[in-house]
Chains A and B, each alone.
Chain A
């Protein structure tokens, strides 16, 4: 079971890159993913721990190579398929 997400103390990730005055979301789609997740949680399609676990189980290269909200989107898609809501 990959534990790519469990990074406390890991080395090699380099300097912290900061963007001054960054907006809450860089793209409209990110804001949609944020509220979509909140809504699906409220509706009870999955719980927060299932959501986190889904992100943790992304293949390592996908976890490391995706942006934050891309990971959210992949987890949501995966969970909805698992739960039979999709296709």
Chain B
């Protein structure tokens, strides 16, 4: 059961843990909007350790869109958005 739905505001985790992950640093600690929900996928952070498909964690995968000014903490000169496909554990609900 996916926790987030399109239109939800989410914040990415503040920093990446050691090891393999698919949240780029430039998108850590950023607020974005869920644009699509893609179903359940094995978590690459665990698969990279050789964990079998049967036993690894599987989570909902989302496309999240971030505004350029939010990503780069600069007032955007020209309109920019960046999207990334992120697993649920990389995200938290954002209140505001």
Query: What bracket does the count of chain A residues touching chain B fall in?
Result: 10 to 19
- Check if A9 sits within 8 Å of B26, measured CB to CB: yes
In the assembled complex, B64 has its CB within 8 A of some CB on chain A:
no
Please name the residue on chain B nearest to A47 by beta carbon: B47
Does A56 touch B at the CB level, under 8 Å? yes
Complex: A47 Cα to B44 Cα, angstroms: 10
Residues of A1-56 at the interface with B, using a CB-CB cut-off of 8 Å, are 1, 3, 6, 8-9, 46-50, 52-53, 56
B72 CB → nearest A CB, Å:
7
What's the interface size class on B, roughly?
A: 10 to 19
Residues in chain B near residue A56, CB distance under 8 A: 20
Query: Does B18 sit within 8 A of A, measured CB to CB?
Result: yes
Q: Are B25 and A8 in contact (CB under 8 A)?
A: yes
Known: A46-B50, A47-B47, A50-B48. A8 touches B20 (CB 8 A): no
A3 and B25 contact, CB distance less than 8 A: yes
CA distance A30 to B34 in the complex (A): 39
Please give, as numbers and ranges, the residues of chain A lying within 8 Å of B25 by CB-CB distance: 3, 6, 8-9
Known: A1-B18, A1-B19. A6 touches B24 (CB 8 A): yes
Residues of A near B91 (CB, < 8 A) are none
B interface residue numbers (CB < 8 A to A) = 16, 18-20, 24-27, 44, 47-50, 71-72
